Amino acid sequence: MRNAGLGGWTARRAQMTPNRTAFVFADRSITYDEVHTRTTKLASQLRDGGVKPGDRVAYLGPNHVAFAEIMFATHMLGGIFVPLNFRLAAPEIDYMLNHSGAAVLIYAPECAEVVRALPDTSGLLEIVCLEPSSTEERDYESLLSKGDPTPIDVPVGLDDVAVILYTSGTTGRPKGAMLSHANLVWNAFNLMIGLDVASDEVTLISAPLFHVAALAQMLLPTFMKGGRSLIMPSWDVDRCYDLIEEHRVTWMFGVTTMFAAFARSPRWAEADLSSLRNLMTGGSAIPVSLIRAYQERGLVFCQGYGLTETAPGATFLEASESIRKAGSAGLPVFFADVRVVRPDLAEVAVGEAGEVLVQGPNVTPGYWRDPEATSAAFAGDGWFRSGDIAVRDDEGHLYIVDRVKDMYISGGENVYPAEVEGVMFEHPSVAEVAVVGVPDSTWGEVGRAFLVCRPGASVTGDELRAFLRGRLATYKIPRYFDVVDDLPKTGSGKIQKSRLRDRARP
């Protein structure tokens, strides 16, 4: 086979385990053989429509089995897959389509209004809808059904670009992080070394697949091992409990907000969760109190750290260390190196905060059509600058402190909001919290905390100050407390602190 990239995976899996279930979506099961046939037919139609090696094919929509079919079909042709955040507005999607130079857009019906609002689609060879509501829209299933199932084997190298993933865009214009086939393959190796992914894995994918964690840490390793992926269109706590019990889910991933909501459910105490072997989290620091709550339920987190640009795994905390090193992001993954450095790039001492640098075969070759951003992202010799602050303990375990841009200085002292948020999260009334630095005439900057209360609970600023006093240094205690109904989040579930900083003070 000349296709050394992800485009060859469906043929290899169909040959090894043709009758094993690959995906379950909306109560429909699809075998590996069916995935390969459908993917090949779609690829033949895209090829006939003009898609060539190196062309970009975009998908816009919630999680769907078609996401995997489109991705593998694109890679079968040597193309580049561009998954888009379906929560974005038309101008934002228009920017990404134009910036990536997408040749094809395939979208879900939930995004039809956004697609209709795009100002200019003349540069697209094809626009296809998964479930069109009118005859004017090209139908995905009709397109696929007319395809040719004859095997396709286009030469693809591991160093060829596989996907362009647009960063969350918490500040400024999003950048298109390129990940090669090699980046994704090495990441899968790293993940499977740290986690015992099995061929009988039943993986629940509820985080958005346009986010690198769900795609590269869940779907791809499960597919490589021949396991079964249950694809949820979106995160739903009750549906999650149903699927775990019905399908005996063994593995699931979530960010802090998802696991916090799962533990707050009335079903938490009595649900049968005995099938779960691994819970994995990343994306942001998870409060130790939440880790402890899961441990008390007999559930253990495998916590990791990484970025879109590292495909994403940079460090990993194996299950055997999850109690002893609760709150740690773990050690560098097997096939990567990690440093924690001062501004002059010298290594920090044990317990000293510094920026995380990552080097390895999982690290991005750069940003699509952005040589300046690519140059600024590397410190030399292939070391990627994460923009994250961490400390290392005497055994080499990393503890992510915060983002460089989220840290603020109050009275000459560095304040890391993630630390403050972790302590506030221990208050029984607090469901979610985000702390940002705001200008202050006396101290330069002070903290402003935005929090969401648990259902039926309430709390005042004075009560929170009293709670934090003795748990945090005085300069770390926020000056202002805002109780809100919800916090603004990106499509991947990360809190958009830039929007909180812009809010007027009451």
276 neighbors 250 (Cβ within 8 angstroms)? yes
pLDDT above 50 (res 24): yes
Closest alpha carbon to 235 in 250, 248, 254, 260: 254
Q: How far apart, in whole angstroms, are the C-alpha atoms of residue 351 and residue 396?
A: 10
The CATH homologous superfamily for domain 183-403 is: ANL, N-terminal domain (3.40.50.12780)
Q: What is the mean pLDDT of the chain?
A: 93
Between the alpha carbon of residue 77 and those of residues 97, 156, 453, 481, the distances in Å are: 19, 8, 50, 53
**Per-residue confidence (pLDDT) for residue 301, from 0 to 100:** 82
Domain boundaries, the chain: 30-157, 183-403, 408-501
Q: How much is the average pLDDT of 378-383?
A: 94
Residue 461: what residue type? G
Tens of pLDDT along 172-231? 578 999 999 999 999 999 999 999 999 999 999 999 999 999 999 999 999 999 999 999
Highest mean pLDDT among 313-317, 497-501, 502-506 belongs to 313-317
160 neighbors 180 (Cβ within 8 angstroms)? yes
**Per-residue confidence (pLDDT) for residue 284, from 0 to 100:** 62
Query: Which CATH code for domain 408-501?
Result: 3.30.300.30
Window from 95-109, 135-149, 295-309, 355-369 with minimum mean pLDDT: 295-309
Confirm or reject CATH 3.10.20.740 for domain 30-157, answering yes or no.
Answer: no
* Cα radius of gyration (the chain): 23
Confidence class for position 504, pLDDT limits 50, 70, 90: confident
- What DSSP element (H or E) covers 441? none
Record the tokens describing residue 323, joined without a space: 């109690």
**Per-residue confidence (pLDDT) for residue 110, from 0 to 100:** 95
φ/ψ of residue 16, rounded to 5: -80, -45
**Per-residue confidence (pLDDT) for residue 445, from 0 to 100:** 86
pLDDT above 60 (res 169): no
Confidence class for position 171, pLDDT limits 50, 70, 90: very low
pLDDT above 50 (res 329): yes
- Check for a shared fold between 30-157 and 183-403: yes
Window from 76-90, 142-156, 255-269, 455-469 with minimum mean pLDDT: 255-269
Confidence class for position 289, pLDDT limits 50, 70, 90: confident
Q: How far apart, in whole angstroms, are the C-alpha atoms of residue 231 and residue 61?
A: 13
Between the alpha carbon of residue 41 and those of residues 18, 45, 132, 209, 343, the distances in Å are: 17, 6, 20, 23, 52
Q: How far apart, in whole angstroms, are the C-alpha atoms of residue 258 and residue 277?
A: 18
Closest alpha carbon to 449 in 411, 489, 428, 422: 422
